[in-house]
Amino acid sequence: MRKISVGLLGSILALTSDWVWATSCAYTGVTWPGPSTSMFVQPLMGSTYITAYQEATQIWTTSTVFSFSVGQDRTANPCSNPNMSTPRNGVKFDNTACGTAWGTGDLAVTYWWWRDATLIQAGTVFNSNVPWGVYNGPWSASQADFRRVAVHESGHVIGLGHEYNVPSIMYDWIKVGDVLEVPTAYDIGCVNALYGAAVPPEMQLESPVHGGVSSGVSNIRGWAVGQAGIDYVELSVDGNLYGNVPSGSRRDDVGAAYPTYPDSAASGFSMAFNYGNLSPGAHTVTVQAVGRDQASATRSAIFTVVRFDDPFIADPSAVNLSSAKATLDPSSVYLSHVLAGGAFYDLILRFDPESQKFEPIQISPVP
C-alpha cells in the first residue's frame, strides 16, 4: 500500500497546521486570488513526466472552473521561500521532501505559502526514490502511476484537502488495484464551489403533486443529487421552516440517470406528513437540497388540503357509515352523510396513482 502525503510548509507570511474540515468538501483553507495559476516544471524531469504532468493539470482545467498553465523553468523550486525570491510555483523530482527524509510509502508532497488565506506560492515534490511509470488501469504493485499522483497533488495546489468519506481522487491512500485516475463529480463540485461556481443539485419533488389534493397522513418525497453529493434536504411549509427530510433511500432509476453523481442510487428523500394539521385550502411545500459543496436547489408544489375538522382521528369507531349513501361514476366514489369525529361530511374519493389507493379530493361539512 502506498500513501500520497501532503505537507504544510510555513514561512513568515503565515503558518498554520489547521485543516478546514467542512461537513462536506475538505479544503485546506487557502485559495488563489482567482481560479487559475501557473506551474513550472524542471526540464530534468524528462519529457515523459512533463507531458504526464501537463495532462494531469489539464484534467482539472477542462472539468472545473480552475485553470492551470504549465511551463518549464530549471530555476523553479517548490522548496524556495517566496520571502527570499520572486514567488514561482515549482515542480520537481527529489530524493528528499525539501530536505526532510521521505516516509515509507510517501509518493509526493505539496507545499503552500499564503497570506490572509490567499495563496502566494505552491509547489510539488515527487519522490525520486519511487519506481515511476505512466499508465492507465489498476494501480500496480511494481510501479507508481505518475499522472494520477499528479492529478491528486494538483488538487492540493488548487486548495483541496484530503478526503476520507466519499470516493475521491483526493483520498490520501492508493492501494494495489485501485482504478480511480481522474477527479470524481464530487471533486469537481468541490473545486467549483471553492471558486464560486458550484453547480446546483438536480432534484425532483414528487409528492405532494403541484396542483393536486392532499389529505390525512401521507408522504413528502422525491430525490436529489449533486456534483459533490447531497448534505441534507430541508422542508418548509408555507414559508416556515419545518425541518430536515430523511434522505438516502434507494433510487435505482436516478442512479441510472446520473451515474457519475455521488450516491445517486441512494438519492431518495421521504417523510410521513400529516396534512390534516394544515388548514383546508391552498398551501405551498418547498424542499431545498443542499450539496456538500453548499450548492443548493429548491422545488415547490402548491396543493389543496381537504380534511375533517379533527386533524387526526385515532379511534376507528369515530367514523361511521351507517347513515351514509354511496354513488359511483367511472372515476369517483361519492359518499354522503359520513359521520367522522362527531360531525357529518360529504366526500368524493378518487384513485391516486401515487399512493395506489382511493383518496379524498373533497370533504364538505354537512350543514
Write the CATH number for 231.
2.60.40.650
Q: Which residues span the domain enclosing 254?
A: 202-305
Whether 206 and 190 share a structural domain: no
The DSSP letter of residue 193 is H
Same domain for 41 and 173, yes or no, is: yes
Can the peptide bond before residue 208 be classed as cis, meaning omega within 30 degrees of 0?
yes
| % of the chain at pLDDT higher than 90 | 72
C-beta atoms surrounding 26 within 10 Å: 20
State residue 264's pLDDT score: 93
Kindly provide the b/e burial profile for residues 90-107, where b requires at least 16 CB atoms within 10 angstroms of the residue's own CB. bbbbbeebeeeebeeebb
- What pLDDT score does 196 carry? 86
pLDDT at 2: 39
pLDDT at residue 16, rounded to an integer: 25
Residues 15, 40 within the same domain = yes
Residue 105 pLDDT: 87
User: Residue 4's closest CA among 141, 123, 170?
Assistant: 170
Q: Give the pLDDT score at 13.
A: 26
Are 138 and 20 members of one domain?
yes
Residues 6+ apart with CB under 8 A from 118: 30, 31, 32, 33
Residues 234 and 258 reside in one and the same domain: yes
Q: What CATH number does the domain containing 37 carry? A: 3.40.390.10
**Rounded Cα gap, residues 336 and 327, in angstroms:** 9
Q: Considering 158, 178, 194, which residue would you say is the last residue of a domain?
A: 194
CA distance 81 to 89: 11
Q: Model-level pTM?
A: 0.66
Predicted confidence at residue 345, as pLDDT, reads: 94
**Last residue of a domain, which of 194, 227, 250?**
194
Q: Which residues of the chain have pLDDT under 50?
A: 1-23
Q: Judge whether 310 lies within some domain.
A: no
Look-up of cell digits 359518499: 335
In single-letter form, the type of residue at position 276 comes to G
What letter would DSSP give residue 130? Answer: S
Q: Which of 151, 175, 194 is a domain's end point?
A: 194
Res 355: pLDDT: 77
Residues 32 and 125 occupy one common structural domain: yes
- Please, what is the angle between helix 146-158 and helix 185-194, to 10°? 30
For residue 253, give Cα distances in angstroms to 171, 220, 245, 314: 28, 19, 20, 37
Q: 321 and 300 in one domain?
A: no
Same domain, residue pair 189 and 333: no
What is the sign of the dihedral through the CA atoms of 269, 270, 276 and 277? negative
Residues 298 and 327 in one domain: no
- Position of cell 477527479? 183
**Domain assignment of residue 162, yes or no:** yes
Are 20 and 116 members of one domain? yes
Q: Give the pLDDT of residue 12.
A: 24
User: Mapping DSSP to helix (H, G, I), strand (E, B) and coil, where does residue 325 land?
Assistant: strand
Of residues 54, 50, 49, 44, the one with CA closest to residue 75? 44
In a domain, 311, yes or no: no
| Total tally of structural domains belonging to the chain | 3
Q: What is the residue-wise DSSP string for 198-233?
A: PPPPEEEEEESPTT-EE-SEEEEEEEEE-TT-EEEE
